[in-house]
Amino acid sequence: MGNVVAIHQPNFMPWIGYFYKIYQSDTFIFLDDVQIQKKGASFSNRVSILVEGKEKYLTIPIKRGSGIRNINTTRFNDNRWKNKITANLQANYARANFFKENKDLIFDLIHFDAENLADYNINFIKTITKKLCFNVDFIKSSKFEIKSTSTERLIELVKLVNGKVYLSGSGGDKYQNCDLYKNAMIVLQYNKVPNFSYRQLKTESFVTGLSIIDAIFNIGFDVLINEIFIPE
């Protein structure tokens, strides 16, 4: 059908569903020049892992300051959180089947030195995508310096990369004007993440929505590639 384009903010160590969106795309645009949430944590700086069978958040402390701050201008309070996160992962995943095999990769990504939150998250996402052997082109929305907002912004981005299909999140109908895609001759599709589960530590019931590192440590990249991301 042509160039399938997905657009998403660069999330912190995202869950499998995020990577499934990348998997279905020809071009993936990081929406890095949008405003970060003013208060509390968002998926840009928070993700969950499994601790004693329960979901627990890992959070990057960020500088908020005053006024509007975009993801690609958001800085870190300090770097101490990196050691805290690696220690947390060591304590909770050391006995996972693929922890030793992938520990260095994940810990190096956590200790990656970046000037802003967007670049930090993008480095993680692009590295994991390469390990998953996905064939996709990445680009940052900030490259285009677009001034439009909402659905108009998404359509403009899709057109700028010669997209024919826009792959939206499953909840896209709640915030976007679907008719505008028809008028722009862009096919609107939705990212439908298949049902999946795998063996996790210290729990009988599968806990979904966790960072992909939970799957990397528990089942490894080969199973992720061949069983979770099934070739079409």
Domain limits of the chain? 4-228
pLDDT at position 177: 82
Phi, psi (rounded to 5 degrees) for 166: -105, 120
Q: Please report, rounded to a whole number, the percentage of residues in the chain having pLDDT higher than 70.
A: 95
Residue 51 CA: distances (Å) to CA of 18, 55, 57, 94, 200:
22, 6, 9, 12, 11
Tokens of 71: 């993801």
How many Å apart are CA 163 and CA 156, to the nearest integer? 10
pLDDT at position 122: 98
Residue 15: how many other CB atoms lie within 10 Å: 20
Indicate if the alpha-carbon torsion angle 19, 23, 24, 29 is positive or negative.
positive
Instruction: Spell out, as residue ranges, where the chain has pLDDT lower than 50.
Output: 1
Q: Which helix (H) or strand (E) segment is 189 a member of?
A: strand 187-190
pLDDT at position 2: 63
For the full predicted model, state whether its pTM sits above 0.85.
Answer: yes
The closest alpha carbon to 89, from 183, 211, 174, belongs to 211
pLDDT at position 111: 98
pLDDT at position 148: 86
Residue 217 CA: distances (Å) to CA of 112, 126, 141, 232:
19, 18, 32, 25
3-state secondary structure 72-126: HHCCECCCHHHHHHHHHHHHHHCCCCCHHHHHHHHHHHHCCCCCCHHHHHHHHHH
Mention every residue, 6+ apart, whose C-beta is less than 8 A from residue 159.
Answer: 184, 186
